[in-house]
Chain A
Amino acid sequence: MTGVTTRGRTITSRIRHWYGANPLHLLALLAAFALAGYAVRAVIAAGQFRGFALWFAVAIVGHDLLLFPLYSLADLSVQRLLPWGSSRKRTRPAPAGQVPGPPLINYVRIPAGFSLLLLLAFFPLILGLSGPEYHRASGLTTQPYLWRWLAVTGVLFAASAVSYALAWRRAAARARKQQAAAVAARTRAQQTPHAAPDVPSPVAPRATFDVWPPARQPHRPDSPDLR
């Protein structure tokens, strides 16, 4: 964008220096404020500005300074309290010779998150808070909603438990297959000592069980170590 030159600097660059961005940025923002201001003017005219502004503020503060810290704290607490949920104890310790369980955390926080989200959206019906108004409007009661929510929560956790069991089984099957392949390779290597000098040792994959799923790939030197 070029502008009129005054004393060696364009007006655009002077505005940019003073304002901190392209003048178009300012114009676009002013247009947006004008539109929002026009809408707020109508709210003031309707005599409902105080409640309107209060709810705007409560919506922002309620999310950013209440809901967000609460769910973050809940998530961190679950990670810490779960027997094998945190990043440090990623997998369930297994007796020797068995495959460790997958990290539990996502199998807990996903059904819990879904359930809490349903509660967040439908708490007036679930907790019966809108019962009288809902009955006046529809002739129905809010009673079933609590049971439905509990039932959906139960189904979510049950589905999560089933998929956890399946994930563990898959991991165990994969580990068995790898072990069998490694044993077979070792036997082959012993039978023909000159062939296949670079067959990996069968114990090697066990060392990386720290990461889930186990023994998928060796440590990549180009990837940063996160722990």
Chain B
Amino acid sequence: MRRAAQIRRNGHQRRDGRRRHALAASAAAEYHRASALARRAADAARHPADHPPPGPFRPGIWRSPLRGLWLTSILAVVLLAGLIVLAVTGLLSYAAYDPLLPGNDQTPGAGLLHFYLFSWPTHPSWLYRVDQGVHITLGLALLPVVLAKLWSVLPRLFAWPPVRSLAQILERVSLIMLVGGVLFEFATGILNIQNYYVFPFSFYTAHLYGAWVFIAGFVIHVALKFPRMVTGLRSRRLRRELRTPLAETRPEEPDPGETETAEPGGGLRAAHPRAPTISRRGLLAAIGGASLTLGGLVVGQSIGGPARRTSLFGPRGLSATAPHYLPVNRTAASIGLTAADVGPGYRLTLIGTRTVTLTQAQLLALPQHAVELPIACVEGWSVSCQWTGVRLADLARLAGMPDPAAAQVDSIQQVGAFKTAVLSAGQVADPQSLLAVTLNGRVLPRDHGYPARTIIPNAPGVHNTKWVNKITFLKQA
């Protein structure tokens, strides 16, 4: 009995002791945990660089084994060439509008950005067609490369700490110009060729100045990163990568720049890469294939002929091969052209040193000339056609001004940015420049500018004014 009580007491004591011990232990653990947390918090406050916030800022989240300096550099070299061609064709296209002639400038206020402009030539007549076809098709073909390049460098957006020096702050700001610029230009360009005018600005203004912001970001990015790109290209052999199947695909080696000052906060490769699901050559083939698909399903609208049928997604591609259809950029219906406008009451007024008014019959009685010239739209499509009509030079002579400095061509059209175009002296004097009255052997269709339209070699489509009713020859441009 006593023994039992003793045991019970002892048990109690023992249990109590155990409980006390457990309490003390848990309190100690609690204390240790709390102090560890506090220490870590204090440490994070003192060295925020080593404690990225969760999510994309933790390097562990980026796990693709293919990301690395070599892959980024390969994509960079493609974009370096491609985006330069894109920028040059774009700036040439702007020059083709002859913005220095009064009334032609869609973007007044460009100021010094006009520095490179020159009088747009009439020869070769295919130049604008090729320039714009390349600009649109290449732009679409580069879309997958741009997206892949952005994918390859995206971990850098979340590099922690976000800034280490003033130099890095400025460099990151310049990336807004680069990345924002390229996405802005691609978005506005791609929407514009499909006539999807959802942007709250004029396409010409935004696409031109957006291009200059992009060019600024692009030039500085190339200047700062070119050596890194060369290092990257040298780190692996392309030919060897193209022979490496998935089973032998390994993550890239750490590159020397990563640990040095060039790339603080780590490079492009994953800290803990996953097993690859695609080889490097497979990824490059996919990007290239996507480029060919996008460009290839559009380019036919710029080549014309039977190739137009292959242009499944070109806005004037396969759709524009319907019987009796020739690509149009503005229908007569859309500008509210009435039968009276182009009926027997139609008059063409020529203003020079004297004013001459011609009826349609008088116009047709003038010497007619035949030319074969392409008409090429800023949206990328083009088509070569047979035109007949009266030479603009003959009309200038008729108005008493054989060598005008410029000519303003006006349309019956009352609305639209291109109801008027100003032609340069060279464009008026070119023997191929016509006021056309037939197209491919038939009377000009109404959607193509009946009763008369200008056709100027090598000019942007919208400068070939339709439904012309007045030409003013100017002594001074």
A interface residues with partner B (beta carbon < 8 Å): 18-21, 25-26, 28-29, 31-33, 35-36, 38-40, 42-43, 45-46, 48, 50-52, 54-57, 59-60, 62-64, 68, 79, 87, 103, 105-106, 110, 113-114, 117-118, 120-122, 124-125, 129-130, 133-134, 136-140, 144-145, 148-149, 152, 211-213, 216-217, 223-224, 226-227
Contact = CB atoms under 8 A, between A and B. Distances in A.
Interface stretch (B12-20, B229-237, B272-280): B272-280
B206 A42 contact: no
Interface size grouping (class) on chain B: 35 or more
A172 to B, nearest CB: 17
A32 B205 contact: no
B154 A68 contact: yes
A55 B206 contact: yes
Contact of B209 (A42, A113, A125, A224): A42
A121 B140 contact: yes
Nearest to B219: A32
Interface stretch (B89-97, B122-130, B165-173, B396-404): B165-173
A142 to B, nearest CB: 8
10 contacts: A28-B220, A31-B220, A35-B216, A39-B209, A43-B209, A50-B200, A118-B294, A133-B195, A139-B333, A148-B313
Interface of B: 65, 107-113, 140, 143-144, 147, 150-151, 154, 157, 164-168, 170-171, 173-174, 176-177, 179-181, 183-184, 187-188, 190-191, 194-197, 199-202, 205-206, 209-210, 212-213, 215-217, 219-220, 223-224, 245-248, 250-251, 273-278, 282, 286, 289-290, 293-294, 297, 312-313, 315-316, 318-320, 322, 325, 327-331, 333-334, 447
A106 B277 contact: yes
Contact of B224 (A28, A110, A149): A28
Contacts of B188: 55
User: Which of A79, A110, A152 has the most chain B CB atoms closer than 10 A to its own CB?
Assistant: A110
Given A42-B109, A48-B201, A138-B327, A124 B184 contact: no
Contacts of A117: 143-144, 147, 290, 293-294
Contacts of B331: 136-139
Given A64-B157, A68-B151, A137-B334, A55 B170 contact: no
B237 to A, nearest CB: 17
A21 B113 CA distance: 30
Contact of A32 (B177, B290, B329): B177
Contact of B329 (A68, A121, A138): A138
Contacts of A124: 191, 194-196
A39 B213 contact: yes
Q: Which secondary structure dominates chain B's binding surface?
A: helix
A145 B313 contact: yes
A20 B165 contact: yes
B315 A55 contact: no
Contacts of B319: 138, 140, 144-145
A133 B329 CA distance: 11
Contacts of A227: 275
Contact of A56 (B143, B184, B200): B184
A152 B312 contact: yes
Nearest to A130: B196
B86 to A, nearest CB: 15
A180 B195 CA distance: 62
User: Which of B183, B188, B322 has the most chain A CB atoms closer than 10 A to its own CB?
Assistant: B183
Contacts of A140: 319-320, 322, 325
B186 to A, nearest CB: 8
A133 B197 contact: yes
B196 A148 contact: no
Given A42-B113, A124-B195, 5 more contacts: A32-B220, A33-B174, A106-B278, A117-B143, A121-B313
User: Which of B109, B150, B213 has the most chain A CB atoms closer than 10 A to its own CB?
Assistant: B213
Contacts of A122: 194, 313
Contact of B202 (A33, A48, A216): A48
B170 A68 contact: no
Contacts of A125: 194, 313, 315
Contacts of A40: 209, 213
A14 to B, nearest CB: 13
A224 B298 CA distance: 44
Nearest to B273: A226
Contacts of A211: 246-247
